[in-house]
Structure 1
Amino acid sequence: MSGRTPSKWEQLTAADPAHSTFYVERFRALAADGTDIFGEARLVDAMLERGSRVLDAGCGPGRVGGYLHRVGHVVVGVDVDPVLIAAAEQDYPGPTWIVGDLAELDLPSRGITAGFEVIVCAGNVMTFVAPTTRQAVLAGFTRHLAPAGRVVIGFGADRGYEFPQFLSDAAAAGLTVDSRHSTWDLRPFTDESDFLVAVFSRGEGGPATRDPASSDDRYS
Structure 2
Amino acid sequence: MGRPTRWATDTKPGHSQWYVERFRQMAADGEDLVGEARLVDAMVPRGARILDAGCGPGRHGAYLHAVGHTVIGVDADEELIEASKADHPGPTWLVGDLSELDLRASGITEPFDAILMAGNVIVFVAPGTEVDVLRGLAGHLAPDGFVVTGFHTDRELSVADFDAAVAASGLRIEHRFATWDLRAWHEEAGFAVTVLRHA
Q: Would you say same fold, with TM above 0.5?
A: yes
- Which amino acid in structure 2 is aligned with residue 72 of structure 1? G
Could you list the per-position Cα deviations for residues 33-80 of structure 1 after superposition, in whole angstroms to 9, with x for gaps in the alignment?
111001000000000101000000000000110100000000000000
1:139 aligned to 2:129? no
| Cα drift, residue 157 of structure 1 | 1.3
Q: What residue number does 1:70 align with?
A: 66
Structure-2 separation of matches of 1:114 and 1:194: 35
| Cα drift, residue 114 of structure 1 | 3.8
Residue from 144, 150, 157 that aligns with 1:148: 144
- Give the 3-state SS of the residue equivalent to 2:172 in structure 1: strand
- Give the 3-state SS of the residue equivalent to 2:146 in structure 1: strand
Structure-1 separation of matches of 2:71 and 2:170: 23
Structure-2 separation of matches of 1:33 and 1:71: 22
Residue from 99, 102, 126 that aligns with 2:98: 102
Q: What residue number does 1:87 align with?
A: 83
Structure-2 separation of matches of 1:134 and 1:20: 22
Structure-2 separation of matches of 1:113 and 1:187: 35
1:10 aligned to 2:11? no
| Cα drift, residue 176 of structure 1 | 1.0
- Which amino acid in structure 1 is aligned with residue 159 of structure 2? F
- Which amino acid in structure 2 is aligned with residue 134 of structure 1? E
Structure-1 separation of matches of 2:69 and 2:10: 32
Alignment of 1:128-207 (within 5 A): 128-203=124-199
> Percent identical across equivalent pairs?
56
Could you list the per-position Cα deviations for residues 92-147 of structure 1 after superposition, in whole angstroms to 9, with x for gaps in the alignment?
11000000100000001110124100001000000000121111000001100000
| Cα drift, residue 17 of structure 1 | 2.8
- Give the 3-state SS of the residue equivalent to 1:130 in structure 2: coil
Residue from 119, 141, 160 that aligns with 1:123: 119
Structure-1 separation of matches of 2:110 and 2:167: 20
Structure-1 separation of matches of 2:10 and 2:77: 11
Q: What residue number does 1:40 align with?
A: 36
Structure-1 separation of matches of 2:187 and 2:13: 37
- Which amino acid in structure 2 is aligned with residue 5 of structure 1? R
Unaligned runs of 5+ in 1: 204-220
- Give the 3-state SS of the residue equivalent to 1:132 in structure 2: coil
Structure-1 separation of matches of 2:162 and 2:6: 16
Q: 1:107·1:114 contact (CA, 8 Å) conserved in 2?
A: no
TM-score, L = length of structure 2: 0.98
Residue from 28, 33, 48 that aligns with 2:24: 28
